Chains A and B, each alone.
Chain A
Amino acid sequence: MQAADLSRLRARLPACELAAYVDIGAGTVLASDGALTYPQEYLDVLRDCAALVFSVPNDDGIFDHAMVQTPTGSRVFIRDPNAPDLVICCICAPWLVLSDLLSETRQILAELDAAALQGSQTVEAARG
């Protein structure tokens, strides 16, 4: 997931003001794309929020998405199903349709998985 992928995600979601891809295990921000340029400290806080909301396990299994909502907007956190430490974080306007965000994010992740699989098959074929 790179900034260009996050930009593609935001292009499909007008309510999304900032998207970031973070590793809550390593405590790093891997990529971001926003309507404005955000300082690193802001992205670090967003990463801390992601780590915080997913910090408490549950007997019914780990949470894979979370939303912090205030009257002025929402922060949405979606785990990569193939790597739960990797989280897409979005800051969105109050008129966000959450189901759209979830489906578009999962679509982008699926596209990236498919591209990665195709890439690895091409490498294997070249070696063979």
Chain B
Amino acid sequence: MTGLQDIKSALRRAAVDGIAPGDVRASSDAEKTLADLSDMIAATVLPRQIILRPKTGPTLTLSGDSARLHHIQSSDGTVNLDVKDAEEAAKLLRDAIEQGGHVVLRIHAVDSHGATRSRGIAASQLRTALGVSEPAEDTDPLAQLEAGLPSGTRTALEITDGGFDLLRGDASEAAELAEWAAPMLDTLLAETSPLASAMETQGQLALGWPGDNGRHIRIAGRLGHIVVASVDGAMTAV
């Protein structure tokens, strides 16, 4: 079973990369947008730019890393703020979001924040200033993965350092599935894989054969755990 021992460590590496660049959240609900924005900043590890594009008003570019917000800049040049005061940043963001109507948030990777980097404020300070409640504590990631398995799951296994643990179904089918999954996971979680970071904490890959009602395969990752499942029935979004 080639490479299985590397898979967990690869997923852990991916897990420290924050929210996947390119991810988008959009809402007309200001409170939801503020909560999403707080989550995005809290999840940053490497340097990220968060683009806040309201339907009306200038676009804001937020620079963050290490769960801190450092800088806010507006597209019309009226805001160029090295963030030092959480209340000031919160007011600016709340005004932009409440007046902006439908707001799109998009996160980008950047090499560094260069000259724009200041000490900034912690995501928790911003959350408090915005009046956004702390996210609920995550329960056991493997239990969450198991709970998320579709009802038609025939076989499910967790990839471990030495092989796999059977979660559901027949052991020989699981062994075949694990053998197939090994090269797939090596590719999926490789350093150069554009999907490694998408699988970081809550990513799922589903693969289907021709025909809408056949079997499909799901690979789900969450905080260093990875589950592979063979599922009877049509592939659906979860």
Contact = CB atoms under 8 A, between A and B. Distances in A.
Interface in A46-94: 48-49, 52-53, 55-56, 58-75, 81, 91, 93-94
B23 interface: yes
A117 interface: no
Contacts of B193: 52
A64 B194 contact: no
B183 A42 contact: no
A56 B203 contact: no
B188 interface: yes
A5 interface: no
Interface stretch (B157-165, B167-175, B205-213): B205-213
B195 A70 contact: no
Contacts of A65: 207-208, 235
B210 A93 contact: no
A74 B206 CA distance: 11
Interface residues of A, number: 36
Contacts of A97: 237
A104 interface: no
Contacts of A60: 209, 215
B202 interface: yes
| Size bin of chain B's contact surface | 20 to 34
B22 A45 contact: yes
Contact of B206 (A45, A59, A67, A81): A67
Interface string A19-61: 0000000000000000000000010010011001101101111
B203 A64 contact: no
A64 B234 contact: no
Nearest to B105: A72
Given A52-B187, A58-B207, 10 more contacts: A17-B24, A58-B217, A61-B209, A63-B208, A65-B207, A69-B206, A69-B238, A73-B24, A94-B237, A96-B237
22 contacts: A42-B22, A48-B194, A49-B195, A52-B188, A52-B193, A53-B195, A53-B205, A56-B184, A60-B209, A60-B215, A63-B209, A64-B208, A65-B207, A66-B205, A66-B206, A67-B205, A67-B206, A72-B24, A73-B23, A75-B198, A98-B235, A98-B236
Interface of A: 17, 42, 45, 48-49, 52-53, 55-56, 58-75, 81, 91, 93-94, 96-99, 102
The 6 closest A-B pairs by CB, nearest first: A56-B184, A72-B23, A63-B207, A64-B210, A69-B204, A67-B206
Interface of B: 19-20, 22-26, 180, 183-184, 187-188, 193-195, 198-199, 202-210, 212, 215, 217, 234-238
